[in-house]
Structure 1
């Protein structure tokens, strides 16, 4: 894939809402317990998330979901056992951000309602060594069976697209300068995104 990427302005995109999508787990402890239960049944979990880049005032911004006015995450989720990564990521992006079937008629095709997700490079892999919150961009030397592998993929945004956000979440455009070196607020995975994107030349449309 070319290292030159067209970025389109945030104002090009149409935002709507759809039904809430409650989190599967009421707490971090419950999420880690479900991860452990799934590991016993299926082995290591595979998670895919999309890095959606737009620009605002000539600076790259990443589209992120904010949950409960506090918690930031990239759109995506874990794959079902045997599910292929790219198709799985497209399905997870649809679940999170595609308009609900039946409402699509409100938007014309020029708004990008029918645009498929264009999945680009795999930007990073993060590994969860144990049933804990910590993830690393490498497998620690003493770990032979990591519990989760999360891959971040660049998603090439089209010129226009309709994005429908669950009512219990916000979709925010976070500038790279806000993410950079800001693990205290965003965590090590999200604050690393400016480094991951530094190899690309952005063309601001």
Structure 2
């Protein structure tokens, strides 16, 4: 006979809720589920430079005219399976990058960055309507600054002592996604939701900047909500929200738990977001 939910025993020992562990820490960040967001496509956005050498050559030309290049990229976070995922672009099925780009020399930093985000991800025309279509971007904390000392591909999370005239500074900002958001992706790119455990210590696949994102986000506590705004998971050590209780540990049946945390299973590496025409 099939086991029902009522037949499955649960632990007789309720979890011990630790004391608060949130001193000197930013406010808890709410993450919404990936299913809250709508994704579409728009016209192809070809890369400005056909090669890395051409990109560095153009950087050198712009440096002579306008000085150090300012580049802004955004870390957009949602959750899937109660685990933070970062939205990033994939180009040519190989190259990963965060949404954003370099600023035009005359642009204000934040307004110029918002303009670049819209170029990459904002819907166009009348493809979509309703909540989340024309919402502004909430640019939050600067999480990292990477420096390019010379006209080379290498960038560093510090400015070498002998360098007084860096050629580029790239800033990574934490962008707080609202409850609903409509995003449109250029046809020549994919938008991926990549879990933190996939990025962590994975420089071989994602490079030093992207693989460092789990470190950058570790300063935050998160609370995950479902599509109806019900809190489904919180960071241990944070005050429990009103009405939230820690789920009991299941001891038998399909969801049996032997008392050991075995980590995330059944989650694809870099979950692809299917775009809707």
> Same fold per TM (> 0.5)?
yes
TM superposition score category, shorter chain reference = over 0.9
Cα offsets for 1:132-157 (capped at 9, x unmatched): 01000011111111000000000000
- 2:17 alignment counterpart: none
Give the Cα–Cα distance (whole angstroms) in 1 for the partners of residues 160 and 57 of structure 2.
22
Alignment of 1:137-156 (within 5 A): 137-156=157-176
Residue 168 in 1 paired to residue 182 in 2?
no
Give the Cα–Cα distance (whole angstroms) in 2 for the partners of residues 91 and 164 of structure 1.
14
**TM superposition shift of 1:82:** 3.1
Bigger strand fraction: 1
- 2:39 alignment counterpart: 15
Cα offsets for 1:121-180 (capped at 9, x unmatched): 000000000000100001111111100000000000001110000000000001000000
Residue 133 in 1 paired to residue 133 in 2?
no
- 2:101 alignment counterpart: 77
CA radius of gyration, larger in: 2
Cα offsets for 1:25-63 (capped at 9, x unmatched): 000000000000100111100000000001001000000
Q: Which segments of 5 or more consecutive residues in structure 2 lack a partner in the other structure? A: 1-24, 226-277
Give the Cα–Cα distance (whole angstroms) in 2 for the partners of residues 158 and 10 of structure 1.
11
Alignment of 1:13-162 (within 5 A): 13-100=37-124, 102-104=125-127, 106-108=128-130, 110=131, 112-162=132-182
Instruction: Tell me the matched-pair count.
Output: 201
Give the Cα–Cα distance (whole angstroms) in 2 for the partners of residues 119 and 96 of structure 1.
16
Bigger helix fraction: 1
Higher RCO, 1 vs 2 (CA within 8 Å, ≥6 residues apart): 1
Q: Which segments of 5 or more consecutive residues in structure 1 lack a partner in the other structure? A: none
Give the Cα–Cα distance (whole angstroms) in 2 for the partners of residues 119 and 170 of structure 1.
23
Query: What TM-score does the superposition give when structure 2 sets the normalisation length?
Result: 0.71
Give the Cα–Cα distance (whole angstroms) in 2 for the partners of residues 156 and 126 of structure 1.
21
